[in-house]
Structure 1
Amino acid sequence: MAAKLSDLRSHARTTKHVRAAQPFSSARQSKIKFTNIDHSLKYATNEAEGQLALFIAEHTAFLTTDHVVEVSRKAFRDSKQAPHVKMHRTKCKEMLVNVLGPHFNQCLREDIGDAKYSLIIDESTDISVVKLLGVVIRYFSQKLQKIISTHLGLVEIESGTAASIVCAIKKLLEDVDLNPKKLLGVGVDNASVNTGLNNGVCELLKREFGLPKLFMIRCVCQSIQLAVSHSVAETLPRILDFLVKETYNWFGHSSKRQLMYKQLFATINDGKQPLQIPRVCDTRWLSIEPAVTRILSQWDELKLHFEITRSSEKCYTAESLFDMYSDPVNKLYLLFMRPILQETQRTMKTFQGENTDPMKLLLDLSNLIISLSKKVTIPTARVNPLTTDISSYIDPGAYMGYEFEKVCRESQIAIEVQGNIRQRCISFVVKLCSELRNRLPDNFEALRKISRFSVHECLNQVKDPITEIAEIFGCDYQNIEKVENQWRNLTIVQWQEKKSTAKFWIEVGNYRDASDCNPFQELHEIAIGILSLPHSNAEVERLFSQHNIIKNKLRNRLSLKSVNSVLAIRNGLKRLEKNCHTYDIPKTVLEKIGTMAAYSVSYSGSSNSTSPVTAFSTLVEDDDDLFLFSLQE
């Protein structure tokens, strides 16, 4: 029969068709056998697939799903749900992007609630040359009773301009449904696009959201790194930078040289093995400190190694390094630098720590500047290095440290040369203090006063008022008197927590009087707002480190939506102090697995342009249940 309408109409009038079109009798029609669905088994299967998907998101790549599921089915043959687990990489990805990722994002949004928050932002470029804006949110979790810093989102931006960054932040806040009026502060690096006085990111955010008292916190860690780098480059000999970097390069690419040095070091030090010389890298904050410390601890061994190598290899680099290690002047400079670098590194680590007391951080930074200035200023000088240039109060005979003075006495360095070295070391400290002072936040003096909210300060019987801090944090004139009264009455209550500042103010927030009211509510809100302010960009740098692990050379086509989903799951588990096998997926989330709502038919957002038909056919191959569901629909 030809595929023509006339032929179809002719066929419809034939006796054969009329007879075949008549309804079957119930006696002749065979019964369709439907299998009874075991809902408990289906729920257990969904739970197993969900836990496997969490494991994939937390530890490995989507591609491993194919083998992980098959190995599980083979290893656990006696399990009831193992034969029914049907999940491959496509279904796993869809489950993470459309079910588990949104679930953790929703949990984060509910955890934030109506609390005030701060944002930490930074820009980066991934392996596929896509410019991204990383955003970390910092807030107080009423449910978990602690300060949380976690991933909010990675946003693709067209350019690194301030307007583009502000548009990306605005869109992200709208997508997450966060109130921009609750934004307290923004943590940024020292780029001019962020810190500009007229058209910087923070100034544009103030005008865009109507937040005149928005705090801009520059990353103190990066400020210290830049201050040290500029001070070394402008005051100390360039040969020091060459010495430190080339010592690493000498061993970094040659296993033969490493073996020779290990044998030499073991011979001199009774079989001990040397510590590796670390690499100096600008993107690793103050990485010069461990490199200088290791070089000084192995100075004699390195000098002997280069003395032996320069004749055997006839290498110009080895000869140059031997000459540098033979010159005691270079050792003097490094001996002077080491305690200063260690002090700045110790201060930097306090800003990078997750459990540090934020009330004392700016006080620690000011103490660092004061400590550095005292190394070179006259002991009787009364000068504030935070506001005044110390170059007019220099002590020409300043004490340079025990090891420095010892080497000066024991070496044959001329007095004139020693005087020149001292002068350059003093110039280094003066320049470092100046660089640190210039990189302090504009509202540093006001922020430094928040140390009064530390647990040791606020429980003193005699303490300074907090009127200025209350005004900075938007407290109106009617409540300032109330806050001052609460501040004075803090010592009336016998508080249990007297060590951790964060735990102390959480206890204050949970305190109730006889009428079940909190008499310190307004004061608690100000303290929690201070605790929610960012103090460095360490968290967003950790976010980019996770991103680079997820999206690497082998996975360079991974879509941004998939990366955000994996990051949301990983940070959500970390926030809840859970992992892939201890987290219990809610039943409402498990019910979405295997339904059409959990799968995106269109792959327009992915890097590989798969058509909807091809995408859906791939899903059908990965999950037979989805195919049955589509037939029922």
Structure 2
Amino acid sequence: MCKYIAKQNLSLASADSMNKMCRDMFPDSKIAANMKCGRNKATAIVKEMSTMAMADLAERMKRLPWSIATDGSNEKDKKLFPLVVTMEGEDGLVTPQLLAIPNCDKNATGENIFDVVHKELAVQDVSWQNCVAFGSDNAPVMTGLHKGVIAFVRKKQTNIHLAGCCLHLVHIGAKKGAGCLAAVEDILIDIFYYFQRSVNRQTELKDLQDLYDVEQRKLIKHVCTRWLSIKRCLERLMDNWGPLLHFFRKEAKSLESGSKAADSKSSGSQTSKKVQKVYDFLRSPTNKLHCQFLKYTLKVYDKVLVGLQREDPKIHVLRANLVQLLQDLFDRFVVPSESGKDVKQVQFKLRNKQKTDTDLLIGSAAKEMIQDAQKHNLRQERITDFYKSVRLYFTTVCTYLLNNLPLDDKVLINAVVADPRQRKEATSSQLEFFLERFSMLKGEAEQDVILEQFAKYQRSPLEDEEDDRLDVTWTKLGKEFPELARVMKGILTVPHSSAPCERVFSMVTKTCTDQRSSLHQSTTEALLIVKTKPNKELDDKALKQLKSAYYLGLK
């Protein structure tokens, strides 16, 4: 049944789908075969499934290490805080699972948000005893040491680790750096909405794409709250630079001469200003040079951002990936003798430690424009200013990341002990750090036994074939090193970003569609709890509970 509902995308809108589900579940029931299955029956079944999923999760939270993460929604009428628990499932995988989506009906202060979280745990009769980490974004209301949520959490669990979101920090750093270049963000938004509101404009752009021999592809919407979506948008802009310049040149002339047919959407003064603004931007070769550089340099963030958005545990490589990001940035503008140092020791702000203008890595497209400056109408003073902007971009990004990334966090430094590929370099002191700070990781095992298993594990040959997921590897190793595997999986529960909470918000948007705009919050919560639950076969007791829920729904 779980698989069937997932296949149907958990839709409550189709009575036929639910009828088929009921007939599949209860083939001997004449009621299920003959009566029309409405929303109340479907809701009863899904809510019963969510109740069982929550009870199963709560039962595991009472005996295994876990971490919890939350984030606030931006809806005006309510403030939802999805509670995502990361822990080992019955299949041995360490995965995030939704516990609840409570609404904070008071002001979203640190104390009130904590009360919402604590209340949901109390409902499930779960204490903070086995909680390893609290994950959130980097807002002061969450991370404040005196009035933030973490301050109240530490009154319940003293040694809990605060796992901020490095994904947000990288986004902010990249955005601050881009502020040193041409203001492309507003232009991307203006261009997208200018075409979105008119089919005629879209058709005209397609004709121009044919004229310039450019592949006909739609412009992409840039979401300012997810700033690095700018990469794909910028790539599409650069591909269509010629057609767009042609289009907005024509639009600007038409609006200026007053020859365009008057209508409220296109002839207003605001529209004229936006058209002129976009045209002025596109016809500037300096702006195009800045865009070519930005398009190239945004690629440096891809690896770390993809890793931070993965669902499988990545806390063991988080610090290494952040350090690699900084090193990749240094390689682009710092001399090799300096960029090879420890990232905290690189003197990247000193001009004599930076590469010459011709050695800066700015991308082949930007290099080509500079080499053919006359062809592209680039004046020498503009090129000089461009190189200054490039240096300022790199120094701004690196300064922000070095000041804000948790490179000195002891949890991140020692988490490498959980990586079997690093077992020869790992030390027992790294393991002892976790055993002493997070006593729940040991369970009922003695620390000496765990350390002995660790020593044996370090000298034992492992299979050549390595799994992509570390939790799969430790599930296999758990047969020989059971106590050690429990500790390692507990370490892997520490969130490496707030991506799981962001996924819940995306799922809410996809679930509460226009066709289901009246869906009650409790029903939405039940749907998402079922959807995020790891696949698990239903036993006879669970099927009996669902059958009872179905018959109650008939009434």
Shorter-normalised TM range = 0.7 to 0.9
2:466 aligned with 1:498: yes
Is it true that 1:217 corresponds to 2:163 in the alignment? yes
| 1:317 to partner: Cα distance | 4.0
Structure 2 vs 1, CA of residues 504 and 592 (structure 1 numbering), >3 Å: closer, same or farther? closer
Using the alignment, how far apart are the partners of 1:103 and 1:455 within structure 2? 35
8 Å CA contact 2:85–2:96 kept in 1: the answer is: yes
What secondary structure, in the 3-state scheme, does the structure 2 residue paired with 1:294 have?
helix
Q: Say whether residues 1:89 and 2:39 are aligned partners.
A: yes
Q: Give the direction of change, closer, same or farther, for the CA distance of 1:590–1:86 in structure 2 (3 Å limit).
A: farther
Q: In 1, Cα distance between the equivalents of 2:325 and 2:6?
A: 44
- C-alpha change, 1:341 and 1:356, in structure 2 (3 Å) is farther
2: CA distance between counterparts of 1:77 and 1:172?
37
Instruction: Quickly say closer, same or farther: Cα 1:557–1:126, change in 2 above 3 A.
Output: farther
Q: Does 2:497 align with 1:536?
A: yes
Unaligned segments of structure 1, at least 5 residues: 1-49, 512-517, 578-582, 600-618, 624-633
Q: Is the 8 A contact 2:95 2:312 kept in 1?
A: no
TM norm structure 2? 0.83
CA contact (8 A) 1:335 1:403 kept: yes
Aligned pairs for 1:113-192 (under 5 A) are 114-126=63-75, 129-141=77-89, 143-157=90-104, 158-192=106-140
Normalising by structure 1, what TM-score?
0.74
Distance 1:53 1:369, change over 3 A: closer
Relative to structure 1, the CA distance from residue 474 to residue 243 in structure 2 (aligned partners, 3 Å threshold; closer, same or farther) is same
Does structure 1 residue 255 correspond to structure 2 residue 214?
Answer: no
| Structure-2 residue corresponding to 1:548 | 509
What percent identity do the matched residue pairs reach?
A: 18
1:278 & 1:224 partners in 2: Cα distance?
22
Distance 1:381 1:368 in 2: 16
Deviation of 1:479 after TM superposition, in Å, equals 6.4
Deviation at 1:407, TM superposition (A): 1.1
Q: 1:456 to 1:114 in 2, by over 3 A?
A: same
Structure having the higher Rg: 1
CA distance in 2, matches of 1:326, 1:287: 24
* Residue 66 to residue 395, structure 1, CA distance change in 2 (3 Å): closer
Q: 1:68 to 1:423 in 2, by over 3 A?
A: same
2:512 partner amino acid: K
Q: Secondary structure at the match of 2:436?
A: coil
Deviation at 1:389, TM superposition (A): 5.9
Paired residue for 2:53?
104
**Judging changes above 3 Å, is the alpha-carbon distance between structure 1 residues 200 and 590 closer, same or farther for their aligned structure 2 residues?**
same
Are 2:389 and 1:424 aligned? yes
Aligned partner letter, 1:225: H
Give how far 1:215 is off. 1.2
Unpaired runs of at least 5, structure 2 = 257-271
Residue 525 of structure 1 pairs with residue 486 of structure 2:
yes
Aligned counterparts of 2:241 and 2:549: Cα–Cα separation in 1: 67
Once the two structures are TM-superposed, the CA of residue 138 in structure 1 deviates from its matched residue by 0.3
Aligned residue number for residue 354 of structure 1: 311
Aligned to 1:236: 181
* Partner SS, residue 187 of structure 2: helix
Q: Distance in 2 between matches of 1:484 and 1:70?
A: 55
Q: Please say if 1:60 is aligned against 2:7.
A: no
Deviation at 1:312, TM superposition (A): 4.4
Conserved? CA contact 2:94–2:313, under 8 Å: no
Amino acid in the other structure paired with 2:365 = E
For residues 261-307 of structure 1, give each alpha carbon's deviation from its aligned partner in whole angstroms, at most 9, with x where no partner exists. Answer: 112212332xx633222122123351111111121222233223333
Alignment match, 1:206: 154
User: Which residue is equivalent to 2:269?
Assistant: none
Change (3 A) 1:586 1:468: closer
Distance across 2 between alignment mates of 1:282 and 1:77: 51
CA contact (8 A) 1:119 1:186 kept: yes
Q: CA separation of 1:77/1:470 partners in 2, compared to 1, >3 Å: closer, same or farther?
A: closer
Q: Which residue of 1 aligns with 2:348?
A: 390
C-alpha distance in structure 2 between counterparts of 1:554 and 1:352, whole Å: 30
Choose the corresponding residue for 2:245, options 294, 298, 303. Answer: 303
Distance 1:316 1:435 in 2: 34
Give 2:108's aligned amino acid: G
Deviations for 1:20-65, whole angstroms, at most 9, x for unmatched residues? xxxxxxxxxxxxxxxxxxxxxxxxxxxxxx889957984323x543
Partners of 1:438 and 1:279 lie apart in 2 by: 31
The residue type equivalent to 2:387 in the other structure is R
| 2:373 is equivalent to residue 411 of structure 1 | yes
* Deviation at residue 344 of structure 1 after TM alignment: 1.2
**3-state SS of paired residue (1:198):** coil
1:199 is aligned with what amino acid? K
**Which of 448-457 and 406-415 deviates more?**
448-457
Distance 1:387 1:123 in 2: 37
Number of aligned positions between the proteins? 522
Q: Deviations over 1:417-451 (max 9, x none)?
A: 22221111111111111111222137535413423
Residue by residue over 1:555-581, the C-alpha shift from the partner in whole angstroms, topping out at 9 and shown as x without a partner, is 455433322222222222xx116xxxx
Aligned-partner Cα distance in 2 for 1:258–1:184: 52
Q: Residues 487, 387 of structure 1: CA spacing in aligned structure 2 closer, same or farther, 3 A cutoff?
A: farther
Residue 529 of structure 1 and its aligned partner are, at CA, apart by: 1.8
2:301 is equivalent to residue 344 of structure 1: yes
Deviates more, 1:101-110 or 1:379-388: 379-388
Say if 2:135 and 2:165, in contact at 8 Å, map to a contact too: yes
Is 1:282 the equivalent of 2:241?
no
Counterpart code for 2:220: P
8 A contact 2:67–2:134 mirrored in 1: yes
Shift of 1:175: 1.6
Q: CA RMSD in A?
A: 3.5
**1:359 Cα offset (Å):** 1.9
